[in-house]
Amino acid sequence: MTLNNIFQFLVPKDKKFFPLFEEASDNLTLLAETVHELVNQPKDARESYFIKIEELESVIEEITHKTHLELSRNFITPFDREDIHSLVKSMDDVADFMHGAASRMRLYQVEKITKSIRKLTEINLEACQQIGIAIRELKNLKNLKEITTACKRINKLESKADTVFDKAVADIFENETDAKNIIKYKEVLSSLEAASDKCKSVANVLESIVVKAS
C-alpha cells in the first residue's frame, strides 16, 4: 500500500474532486447531445446550437482549470495525481474536438449534413454517456465491473467510429466532385473521429484507475 493510499484510507471522503469529475462528465454528455441535435437541424436553424456548444466547451475548460487548481492545493487525492490530471484532460480533449467539428460546420457553412456525420455524432454521444456511467462509479470503486464494462463499450464505439470515418472519406473522394466540399467534409469528419479517439483515452485512464484499485 502506497503512502497516498494509506492517507486516503484515513482521511474523510473526498468532497472536491468527484463533484468536479461528475460536473465535467455531465457537461460533456450535454455537449455531445447538442452536437448530435445540431447535425439534425437545417442550416438556418443551427446558430443557437453553435452558441450552446461554445458555452458548454468553455464550462468544461473551466472545470479542468478548477481541477488542476485543486491538485495544486491538496496533498491528499482520491487516487493518483497523474490519473486525475489525465482524466480531466482527456474529457476536455473530447469536448475540444466536438466543439472543433461544430466550429468547422459553422465556419465552412456546411449546407448538407451527411449520414456519416450524423452517425459519428451518435457514436460520440453514446461514448460520452458511457463515460458518465463510469465516472459515477469512481466515488467508492466498489463496482469495478460497471466501470470496466463501460470502458469496453467505449472501445467498441471507437472502433465503430473508425470504420464509419474510413468509409465516409472513401465515399467523399469517390462521389464528391467539388474540391471545396471534399475539404469541408473531411475536416468535420476528422474532428468527430478524433473526439471518439479521445473518448477511448478517457476509457484508458479509467481502466488504469481500476487496475490500481483492484
- Judge whether 170 lies within some domain: yes
**CA separation for the pair 156, 161 (Å, rounded):** 9
Q: What CATH number is attached to the domain comprising 53?
A: 1.20.58.220
- Judge whether 46 lies within some domain: yes
| Domain hosting residue 92, numbered range | 15-213
Give, in order, the Cα–Cα distances in Å from 23 to each of 114, 186, 192: 32, 32, 22
> What pLDDT is stored for residue 14 in this prediction?
56
Model's pTM, two decimal places?
Answer: 0.91
- Of the candidates 77, 59, 65, the one whose C-alpha atom is nearest the C-alpha of residue 16 is 77
C-alpha Rg value of the chain to the nearest Å: 19
- Judge whether 4 lies within some domain: no
Per DSSP, 114 falls in state: P
- Judge whether 54 lies within some domain: yes
- Judge whether 6 lies within some domain: no
Give, in order, the Cα–Cα distances in Å from 153 to each of 170, 203, 205, 209: 26, 9, 14, 17
Provide the number of structural domains found in the chain. 1
Using the structure block, give the residue that is written with the C-alpha cell 476536455: 92
- Judge whether 75 lies within some domain: yes
- Judge whether 185 lies within some domain: yes
Cell numbers of 84, please? 486525475
- Give the residue ranges of DSSP H helices in the chain: 3-10, 17-38, 47-73, 81-107, 115-136, 144-175, 179-213
Give, in order, the Cα–Cα distances in Å from 194 to each of 69, 120, 142, 146, 197: 27, 10, 32, 25, 5
pLDDT, mean of each 10-residue run, the chain (214 residues): 44 72 98 98 96 98 96 85 95 98 96 95 98 92 89 98 96 90 95 98 96 83
- Of the candidates 181, 139, 133, the one whose C-alpha atom is nearest the C-alpha of residue 153 is 133
**CA separation for the pair 95, 63 (Å, rounded):** 12
**CA separation for the pair 107, 122 (Å, rounded):** 22
> What pLDDT is stored for residue 13 in this prediction?
53
- Judge whether 5 lies within some domain: no
**CA separation for the pair 201, 155 (Å, rounded):** 9
- Coil, strand, or helix at residue 144? helix
Phi, psi at residue 64, to the nearest 5°? -60, -45
